[in-house]
Amino acid sequence: MKFRTFAAFVGPSVFMMIVFIALPLIFVFLQSFQVTQPIREMVEVETCTPGFLTQTCTVEVKSQPVLDENGNVQTETRWVGFESYANVLQMGRVWDAISSGAIAQIGNIDFWKALRFTLTFTLLTLPLVIGLGLAIALAVNNAARSIRGQVIFISLLPFIITPVIGALSIRWLFYGDGIVTAWLEMLFNTDISVAANGWAVEFLMMFYRVWHVAPFAFVIFYAGLQTVNQDTLESAIIDGASRWERLRYVIIPHLMPLIVFIALIHLMDAYRAFEEVVGFSSQAQRITLQWLTYDFLQPDDAGNRSISRASASAMLTMIGIVVILMPLLRKTWRDHRGGH
């Protein structure tokens, strides 16, 4: 292809990538080393607010931003180095916990609490998604041709449902007097409070993710299964290979690039888990790194938001994703080079 043609095809996409991904990333990177604050002054304000029938007035000294002559808030931006990172990581409290021997207390510090859960979540759901996806793909591939369409449609449903709605529907099955909880209570004749138990909530969040993402793995694997070399399979049968041996030595090696692909996508997605926290209202029990960033960005009633800490937290999340992808990327790169 001529370079000009190539450039014409790729150009728009490169432009979009720069505007919507590269530039924001650079801004977030810079912001994580900066703090922007309004210039504040302490003022004494008399505030009169209603009681019922009467009014109460209180005088209090409070800090207010200074407005310039156009009525805009004056701000100043300072470079603060790694201060925001330090504020997110809270290493001081981590060392305190370690030196006082209360290692479990690290789990109460937001970032480390989120990291612990995010890693468990990502690494435990990965094999389940791949395993379940492969199992469905094999089952559908071996199903009678006449019902295959219906089976594919039903298997894909969880993937089609909007993520938060999917999470909510599972929440409603289990939380409070949800149907499943009510059944379990009848069966075992006890009181079950799913949302009161951190580990139960954690399990539900993972269950939801596997339920939601396995169909994606299934579609990819099912497509891959159509390209398995039938001659190799037949010769394996003639050689007396069992069903399991055929899977282990013919089909899985053939699907390996797809398994790596699914693993890459899943690791990236699961490490950025967010909707589970919202759907299951798990903030008290379990939070994810992405939710932590969101929480820093949410303004409180007084309009304060921690943009610097949110930027630092976002950069840390990105670094985390790169680290977690490293082994797979290295493997792919080695295989790729070895192939030549």
The reply to whether 108 sits near other proteins by the rule CB under 8 A is yes
Site for other proteins in 32-71 (CB under 8 A): 35, 37-40, 45-58, 60, 62-65, 67, 71
The reply to whether 186 sits near other proteins by the rule CB under 8 A is no
Comparison of 285 and 293: residue with beta carbon closer to other proteins:
285
Provide long-range contacts, Cβ within 8 A and 24+ apart, for 36-41: 36/75, 36/76, 36/77, 36/307, 36/308, 37/75, 37/76, 37/78, 38/65, 38/66, 38/73, 38/74, 38/75, 39/65, 39/66, 39/74, 39/75, 39/76, 40/64, 40/65, 40/66, 41/66
Exposure letters 255-282 (e unless 16+ CB within 10 A, then b) = beebbebbbeebbebbbbbbbbbebbeb
Nearby residues of 194 by Cβ (< 8 Å), 6 or more positions away:
174, 175, 178, 181, 200, 201, 204
Comparison of 222 and 296: residue with beta carbon closer to other proteins:
296
| Count of residues of this chain found to bind other proteins when the rule CB under 8 A is applied | 57
Site for other proteins in 187-246 (CB under 8 A): 193-196, 198
Cα–Cα distance between 266 and 260 in angstroms, integer? Answer: 10
The reply to whether 172 sits near other proteins by the rule CB under 8 A is no
What are the structure tokens assigned to 93, written together?
A: 């409290």
Candidate residues 175, 211, 218, 271; the one interacting with other proteins per rule CB under 8 A: 175
Comparison of 15 and 95: residue with beta carbon closer to other proteins:
95
Site string for other proteins, 275-314 (x = CB under 8 A): ------x-xxx---------x--xxxxxxx-x-xx-----
Comparison of 155 and 313: residue with beta carbon closer to other proteins:
313
Q: Which residues lie near other proteins (CB under 8 A)?
A: 35, 37-40, 45-58, 60, 62-65, 67, 71, 73, 84, 87, 90, 93, 105, 107-108, 110, 175-176, 193-196, 198, 281, 283-285, 295, 298-304, 306, 308-309
